[in-house]
Amino acid sequence: MLNLQEHPHRRLNPLTGEWVLVSPHRTNRPWQGAVEKSSSSSLPPYDPSCYLCPRNQRAGGVRNPDYKSTFVFENDFAALKPDTPRETSNHDDLLIAEGQSGRCRVICFSPRHDLTLANMTAENIRDVIQVWADQYAELGAEESIRYVEIFENRGEMMGASNPHPHCQVWATSEVPVEPSKEQRQLRAYLQSHSRCLLCDYVKLERELDQRIVIENETFVALVPFWAVWPFETLVLGKNHVADLQQLSSAQRSDLADLLSKLTRVYDRVFDEPFPYTMGFHQRPTDGGAHEEWHLHAHFYPPLLRSATVRKFLVGFELLANPQRDITPELAASRLRELASR
């Protein structure tokens, strides 16, 4: 009989319709690859050379205000611009391009240079969640914006150019590729089952109780059955909420509490600041009702076996099929153990 903890197998991701190859037996192979230097050096509360700290100068001579909590500004090096022409270029249906307009903003979580979500209070994180919801509503209300992506890259390994606690908001004129995949799957499931895919999924995971890491009254963090990254987690509301703006006061407090605990767990995995990419997927802002959408966040951390060994998608994973060695159940067990400390 197939043993999911021993035999190679593939798992279907119902959010994207794509498969991931799982090879549990490969966790015993020796590692002689490259290692990364530790990034556990301490930071000062204020850095006069940091362009995100209060009162400091940014690119082009703009000076930050003496902000005391959160701070939002238009990205000085925005990947998207609101005045980009929405024209299409098509050569023989082979060379196709479309103008993509949008906005990019930066949200500083705190004036403190030395903080991360993991060492901010839940109350401070709740203030950040409020700003996330406000930015989603404000940018999504613009006629040309159809999707608002809120994401954080933490650590040099994940491409963060500055250790100051911050995230980015990219508002786009089209729904991006990954949310678009999920939208197709969520809509198809709703049409065939007359229920929400993620409502059913979180209910099933709570019944099985194999991959849940942390939960509170209204939110749960779990390692998804189809996880690709070594310690990937999915943050889900237990109730059907489509976007950050719809969260009640109690739900925002619960989400803040869960994010605080989850990021601290990540730091315990290898006893140092843990790199990851995190982002929220929520209802598009194209004017549709989108009853199929269920707010959730993905955490993608690359560390594999120690604080210095990383694992990005390469080789077979890029050319053929995503693959992982540590089973989601084993990863969840380790994270859950650290969460109980």
| Catalytic annotation, residues | 166
Q: Which amino acid is at 270?
A: F
Instruction: Report the C-alpha gap between 202 and 222 in whole angstroms.
Output: 9
Residue 32: its pLDDT value, please?
Answer: 46
Domains within the chain, CATH numbers bracketed: 44-339 (3.30.428.10)
Give 133-194 as a DSSP string.
Answer: HHHHHHHHTSTT--EEEEEEEESGGGT-S--SSEEEEEEESS--HHHHHHHHHHHHHHHHHS
**Closest to 282 in 3D by CA, of 182, 134, 177:** 182
Residue 37: its pLDDT value, please?
Answer: 54
**Closest to 297 in 3D by CA, of 136, 80, 124, 145:** 136
pLDDT tens by residue, the chain, 341 residues: 888 888 888 999 999 999 998 888 766 655 445 555 545 458 999 999 999 999 999 987 899 999 999 999 999 989 999 988 888 888 999 988 888 999 999 999 999 999 999 999 999 999 999 999 999 999 999 999 999 999 999 988 888 889 999 999 999 999 999 999 999 999 999 999 999 999 999 999 999 999 999 999 999 999 999 999 989 999 999 999 999 999 999 999 999 999 999 999 999 987 778 899 999 999 999 999 999 999 999 999 988 766 566 666 777 777 778 888 889 999 999 999 999 88
Instruction: Report the C-alpha gap between 165 and 110 in whole angstroms.
Output: 7
DSSP state of 272: S
CB-side neighbour CA atoms (13 Å) of 11: 22
**Closest to 166 in 3D by CA, of 106, 104, 252, 255:** 106
**Closest to 197 in 3D by CA, of 188, 205, 189, 208:** 189
Partners of 63 in the β-ladder: 57
DSSP state of 160: -
- Specify the pTM: 0.92
- Residue entry with tokens 């990005």: 312
